[in-house]
Amino acid sequence: MTHSTQQQPAEQGLVVAAYGRRGVLETDDGEELKYQIKGRRVRVVCGDRVEWVRDTRKGAAVIQTVGDRHNTLGRQSHDESYIEVLAANLDCVIVVTAAVPETNWYLVDRYLVTAELMHCRTLLVDNKIDLAHTTSAEARSKELDVYRELDYAYVGVSAKSGQGIDRLLAELSGSVGILVGQSGVGKSSLINALVPDADIVVGALSTANAEGKHTTTASMMHKLPGGGRLIDTPGVRDFVPVIDEASDVRFGFPEISALAGQCRFNDCRHRQEPDCVVKDAVESGSISARRFETYKRLVEETERR
């Protein structure tokens, strides 16, 4: 235990917002308290269990130690020089898409790979189904079918009309989930639809880039009615997963894992090797060529690192 001058026993808490050295934690009594961090070695993210003491002069909490994390959602920084941890101790990664802005399916794959490697449950949420009459509807529904055929849980919803929100709440109930996806797909709007007094400001899509004007800038954890929690995160353009070895990439793809051991070579990377059942499956169309492209890109990126 870190030496403290407050001379009080440390209490337990849960980090619900983190902005650098400051943020908000929830005490075990359900009270929300601003905190600050002392000491350079302590870093916290949403979902961290912490021990804290009250700074009697400022009334704020001072975090002293961070509990072990059972998993983390992280990504490579832009120059790939460090790993940015976004949240910890998650049960479910919820990848949100929408007809507007146009879906980047490679990004969807990258999140799903990350969730698979974290051994985390996944949920694909297609928001804005009230806009189902867009020109791209048929192509989008084909892409979504790829995931449904892979047995990824899927819910179509509209934060605007409320359609599907009850079902989504039932899927999320009792677990700690994190909403991820492109900017403007409606992650914060979904929090507003699910959590009665969340009141997050969301903005009109700016026509220039079809991204939210009132964009979310920091992750924040909300309490779901009926139990469980949900983290809202800032939207992204790109997401580089944390993968230790290029040979681990295949574990992120259930359709590739399912064919394990059937190629001629046991250590087949499904690239130039002869008698590769994965490549055969891509050629015959039983594995999506686009998903296989994501696989190859991730293997190449991970080998380069």
Ligand X SMILES: Nc1nc2c(ncn2[C@@H]2O[C@H](COP(=O)(O)OP(=O)(O)OP(=O)(O)O)[C@@H](O)[C@H]2O)c(=O)[nH]1
Which residues of the shown chain bind ligand X in the complex (CB under 6 A)?
A: 127-128, 130-131, 158-160, 183-189, 202-205, 212, 214-216, 234-235
Which 89-148 positions form the footprint of Zn ion (CB under 5 A)? Answer: none
216 sits near Mg ion (criterion: CB under 5 A): yes
Sign for the CA dihedral angle at 278, 283, 285, 288 comes to positive
Count of C-beta atoms within a 10 Å radius of residue 219: 24
Nearer CB in complex with ligand X: 195/263: 195
Nearer CB in complex with Zn ion: 140/270: 270
Q: Site for Mg ion (CB under 5 A): which residue of 158, 188, 219, 302? A: 188
| Cβ burial, residue 68 (10 Å; 0-12/13-18/19+) | exposed
Helical H runs in 118-259? 137-149, 165-172, 187-194, 254-257
Nearer CB in complex with Zn ion: 176/276: 276
Tokens representing residue 87 in the block: 């949240």
Q: With CB cut-offs between 5 and 8 Å by kind, which of Mg ion, ligand X, Zn ion, none does residue 143 bind?
A: none
Q: With CB cut-offs between 5 and 8 Å by kind, which of ligand X, Zn ion, Mg ion, none does residue 276 bind?
A: Zn ion
Measured from the CB of residue 256, what is the shortest distance to Zn ion in angstroms?
Answer: 8
**Do residues 227 and 176 touch, judged by C-beta distance below 8 A?**
no
Residues 6+ apart with CB under 8 A from 121: 91, 92, 93, 115, 153, 175
d(CA 228, CA 233): 17
Tokens representing residue 160 in the block: 């605007």
Measured from the CB of residue 74, what is the shortest distance to Mg ion in angstroms?
Answer: 20
Measured from the CB of residue 30, what is the shortest distance to ligand X in angstroms?
Answer: 26
| Segment interacting with Mg ion, rule: CB under 5 A, options 72-80, 187-195, 277-285, 296-304 | 187-195
278 sits near Zn ion (criterion: CB under 5 A): yes
Q: With CB cut-offs between 5 and 8 Å by kind, which of ligand X, Mg ion, Zn ion, none does residue 89 bind?
A: none
Measured from the CB of residue 280, what is the shortest distance to Zn ion in angstroms?
Answer: 9
Q: With CB cut-offs between 5 and 8 Å by kind, which of Zn ion, Mg ion, ligand X, none does residue 189 bind?
A: ligand X
The helix (H) or strand (E) run that includes residue 300 is: helix 289-304
Which 242-271 positions form the footprint of Zn ion (CB under 5 A)? Answer: 263, 268, 270
The 8-class DSSP code of residue 263 comes to S
Nearer CB in complex with Zn ion: 30/285: 285
Judged by CB under 5 A, how many residues of this single chain contact Zn ion? Answer: 5
d(CA 131, CA 143): 17
Amino acid at 215: T
Measured from the CB of residue 72, what is the shortest distance to ligand X in angstroms?
Answer: 20
Torsions phi, psi of 5, nearest 5?
-90, -10
| Cβ burial, residue 154 (10 Å; 0-12/13-18/19+) | middle
Sites of contact with Zn ion (CB under 5 A): 263, 268, 270, 276, 278
**Which residues contact Mg ion by CB under 5 A?**
187-188, 216
